[in-house]
Structure 1
Amino acid sequence: MLKEAIYHRPKNNFAYAYDEQTIHIRIRAKKGDLTKVELIYGDPYVWKNGTWQRDIMTMHLAGSDGLFDYWFAEIKPPFRRLRYGFKCMSEIEETYYTERGFQEKEPSRIDSYFCFPFLNAVDVFKAPEWVKNTIWYQIFPERFENGDPQLNPLGTLPWGGKPSPQNYFGGDIQGIINRLDYLDELGINGIYLTPIFKAETNHKYDTTDYMELDPQFGDKKSFAELVEQCHKRGIRVMLDAVFNHSGASFAPFKDVIKNGERSDYKDWFHIRKFPLIEEGQLNYDTFAFAEVMPKLNTENPEVKDYLIKVAKYWVEEFGIDGWRLDVANEVDHQFWREFRQAVHSIKPDVYILGEIWHDAMPWLQGDQFDAVMNYRFTNAVLDFFAKEKTTKSEFEQEITHVLQSYPESVNEVAFNLLGSHDTERILSIAEDNKENLLHMFLFQLSFPGSPCIYYGDEIGMTGGNDPGCRKCMIWEEGRQDRGLLKNVQELIKLRKQVPLFGNDGAFQWTNLHPDIISYTKTSSDEQLLIMINRGTEPLKVTVPNDFYGQRDIWDQEQLSDHTTIEGKGFKLLYRKTKMVPVN
């Protein structure tokens, strides 16, 4: 037994309150090392004849990544307090693991055990419930649809031309309103708009006025109509806030440029010294090294008050449902805590999504964000399905690692995207292989979390990195892949009509064939088995006994004890059951 690999911490993803009655416990061990783990647990104040009264529960092996196994247990302590430890067993050894390390015998002293002092309701991670059932659609407004040519900026090009970082095609809010029927038919029920506030670029990540829409997109009346029309259709609206930095034409920064050290706004930014630029070097912090994007000092009370006023205004005045926060990991944690409290004081179920590309546990403890843009999921899916550069085992291990990095309550609302305005188009990454693209949509839409489709991916649009990924939306049906669109519509319909296909049920890998990706989603009375053949050759698979005679809910084929999955094919088997779900 490799004791050095055994790890637990009574916090974060290893011990957390799943809801107001339930505590989840995880422990990590070397992959394949332990054969059984028992959780020893009890209320710290329940004693009998001088002996602490504890119970024992066998933990479940929830998954494995490249190096570790993760064991899991769910407990509902009657008094919401817990002391606990672990009995770890291998084929040749057993040991007790507690807060004081490893011991040969079960400790008799209660202060040796890990402590979950009390399950306070206010500490439970609570994301908006509606997010679990939301399928997002990301829109880059300048390139989605030109609905009002009178708003076109000077020099606007004909729709569909080659995009560049500087050119304009006239996409606007009215264009989005005009295409709500399309979005409705696709089946999405949430739209995420990249920035729409006044700015000097086509991407609008250089805000000059946080309280005004960019005139190219329309006015507040048109935006209010968009939100109203979306809400009538059951579609939520999320805006993009750039609070890490502003644009160079933001009034406070223009004042700093004009007045230098005499400016009342010099402390709104991170200025090391004056002049701001000296011998070609910037003397102030920016996003990356972009001279036109000065970094805001969110520790400054005036800056904090201003930005929080902005956040509250768009929720209160227009009823938006979410904020996506740009470069969120470079802003101080305290600002985000106060941001969350302020926004939720206006509308308690606003979804708060941070742009963080790496492990984000420090931001996902219930006091800051509800989710982050799950690029770790994105990269795993692209590497396996689009690039075909990882093996089945490597893919399963990476997805397991992502799932085990966070509490289940976080995974249920994770923002799972395949592509965005910051990445190459997924069909281009897949080298125009639309079968692989469909597999990506299938996995994304059947995975726990809140999936997001980048505009145009559902009709097979291509493009390299920025600006190639920001082409004008193709609206001529003859240039759209209508077959792909229909398949994506059907997958979205399945996610809505079969809860197990979406966020319900426990996700678990199965191993039915060395070259077939297969996994189950299991609840108390039903189970779904998904099998995907990434290869080009047909493969025969033995169908688990429980699924004999069940129909494929994709093509309605009835399966017996064996089935053949064609090259690039998949099977979706559903059955009713009375089995207890494995947590």
Structure 2
Amino acid sequence: MRSSPAPKRALFSSSPRSSGPTPSTASSTFRSCGRSEARRRTAKAASNRSKRSSHMLDNHETTRFISVANGDASADPWGASPSAQPTSDEPYARLELGLTAILTLPGLPVFYYGDEVGLAGGGDPDSRRVMPGEDALSDRQKAVRDLARKLGKLRRCSSALREGARVPIHAEPRVWAYLRGDPAADDFVIVAMHASTGPSSAIIQADNLPPGTYVDVLSGSSVEIGPGASLEVPPLTARVLVPAGSACL
């Protein structure tokens, strides 16, 4: 039976272990200590579960994310016309948003081989195609790989992305922004994503963000944030900002 593509349309899915402490755990905690200490232990347990949870876009039993984004998820994996490798930009842009999400949210990013180059594929067994060689990759596939490399290097360098808290900045349909880490410790990353295809950029008010000069790790451009400033995010684009003086640049 073909797996439903619905989870992949949500950009990422987390394991059941990302939920909070079980009722039995919380109950025993409250019985063995005072309420304030119990709350601290319960919050710590929930945080630890979040760090151990994993996020992935697809796997060997599902249709490839990029084929879902290309509207090609229903192709017969056993037939003569399997899911085609996309040639338009939008499926790759949506894949880049998904990769940005799993590499910047709390938890462990999990890549199914080929996601880093936008490998197409229908349901199992078509989702298990041979990994293409360098000469077989299109320029757009190489661009996806470059994004994955940049974010992977940033995550390896930044403890804020590996262990920091997530602070919501902005949330509306198709537009999200959050901060990872602790601005007081000068160790933080700002992430903004715009999943709409409309002609207009999303405008995110940045009044509550730490003022200063930032660098977008993905584009290399500089961004000034201060009183009255806003952050512009074009359609189907992600922005990942770090302070200009960050050691991770």
* Same fold flag (TM > 0.5): yes
What is the CA–CA distance in structure 1 between the aligned matches of 2:22 and 2:171, rounded to whole Å? 34
Give the structure 2 partner of residue 327 of structure 1.
Answer: none
Find out whether 1:458 has 2:116 as its counterpart. Answer: yes
- Please identify the structure whose Cα radius of gyration is greater: 1
Instruction: Give the 3 Å change call, closer, same or farther, for CA 429–551 of structure 1 in structure 2.
Output: same
Matched with 1:410 is 49
Aligned equivalent of 2:68: 429
Equivalent-residue separation in structure 2 for 1:473 and 1:422 (angstroms): 16
Are residue 528 (structure 1) and residue 186 (structure 2) matched? no
C-alpha deviation, 1:409, in angstroms: 1.1
Amino acid of the structure 2 residue aligned with 1:530: V
Give the conservation status (yes or no) of the 8 Å contact 2:192–2:239: yes
Matched, 1:11 2:7: no
Question: How is 1:202-241 mapped onto 2 (pairs within 5 angstroms)?
Answer: none
* Preserved contact between residue 215 and residue 243 of structure 2 (Cα < 8 Å): no
Query: How far, CA to CA, are the matches of 1:9 and 1:422 in structure 2?
Result: 29
Whole-Å separation in 2 of the counterparts to 1:450 and 1:492: 12
Q: Is the Cα–Cα contact under 8 Å of residues 553 and 572 in structure 1 kept in the other structure?
A: yes
Paired-residue identity, %:
19
Q: Distance in 2 between matches of 1:556 and 1:479?
A: 27
Q: How does 1:153-232 map to 2 (within 5 A)?
A: none
Partners in 2 of 1:452 and 1:515 — Cα distance?
23
Query: For residues 324-335 of structure 1, what are the structure 2 equivalents within 5 Å?
Result: none
Secondary structure in structure 2 of the residue aligned to 1:496? helix
Counterparts of residues 108-507 of structure 1 (less than 5 Å) = 407-431=46-70, 432=86, 433-480=91-138, 481-501=141-161, 503-507=162-166
Equivalent of 1:538 in 195, 201, 226: 201
Partners of 1:527 and 1:574 lie apart in 2 by 7
User: Matched residues in 1 for 2:100 and 2:124: separation?
Assistant: 26
Partner of 1:442: helix, strand, or coil? helix
Equivalent-residue separation in structure 1 for 2:69 and 2:154 (angstroms): 24
Instruction: Quote the offset at 1:490 in angstroms.
Output: 0.8
Whether 1:565 aligns to 2:233 is yes
Residues 360-380 of structure 1 deviation map (CA, whole Å, 9 limit, x = unaligned): xxxxxxxxxxxxxxxxxxxxx
Tell me, in whole angstroms, the C-alpha distance in 1 between the residues paired with 2:47 and 2:93: 31
Amino acid of the residue matched to residue 35 of structure 2? Y
Matches of 1:456 and 1:408 in 2, distance apart? 30
Q: Deviations over 1:376-406 (max 9, x none)?
A: xxxxxxxxxxxxxxxxxxxxxxxxxxxx9x8
In 1, Cα distance between equivalents of 2:101 and 2:124? 26
SS of structure 2 residue aligned to 1:11? helix
The one of 30, 33, 46 equivalent to 1:82 is 33
SS of aligned partner of 1:544: coil
Q: State the match for 1:556 in structure 2.
A: 221
How far apart, in 1, do the equivalents of 2:134 and 2:35 lie? 62
Three-state SS of the structure 2 residue aligned to 1:531 is strand
Structure 1: state its 5+ residue gaps: 1-7, 17-22, 26-43, 45-80, 86-114, 125-403, 577-583
What TM-score, normalized to structure 2? 0.66
**1:550 CA displacement:** 2.6
Q: Matches of 2:27 and 2:106 in 1, distance apart?
A: 20
- Counterpart contact for 1:513–1:541, Cα < 8 Å: no
Aligned to 1:393: none
CA distance in 1, matches of 2:149, 2:62: 23
Choose between structure 1 and 2 for higher RCO, CA contacts under 8 A separated by at least 6 residues.
2
Higher helix share: 2
SS in 1 for 2:155: helix
Please give the per-residue CA displacement for 1:48-92, whole angstroms capped at 9, x wherever unaligned.
xxxxxxxxxxxxxxxxxxxxxxxxxxxxxxxxx51338xxxxxxx
- Residues 562 and 512 of structure 1, relative CA distance in 2, 3 Å threshold: farther
Displacement after TM superposition at 1:488 (Å): 0.9
CA distance change for structure 1 residues 573 and 547 in 2, over 3 Å: closer, same or farther?
A: farther
- Structure 2 counterpart of 1:11, one-letter code: S
Decide whether aligned partners of structure 1 residues 469 and 548 sit closer, same or farther in structure 2, where only a CA change above 3 A counts: same
The alpha-carbon distance between structure 1 residues 512 and 544, as it changes in their structure 2 partners (threshold 3 A), is: farther
**Residue type of the partner of 2:157?**
Q
Distance in 2, matches of 1:435 and 1:562, equals 23
The verdict on how the C-alpha distance between 1:519 and 1:546 changes in structure 2, with shifts beyond 3 A counting, is closer
Tell me, in whole angstroms, the C-alpha distance in 1 between the residues paired with 2:158 and 2:130.
34
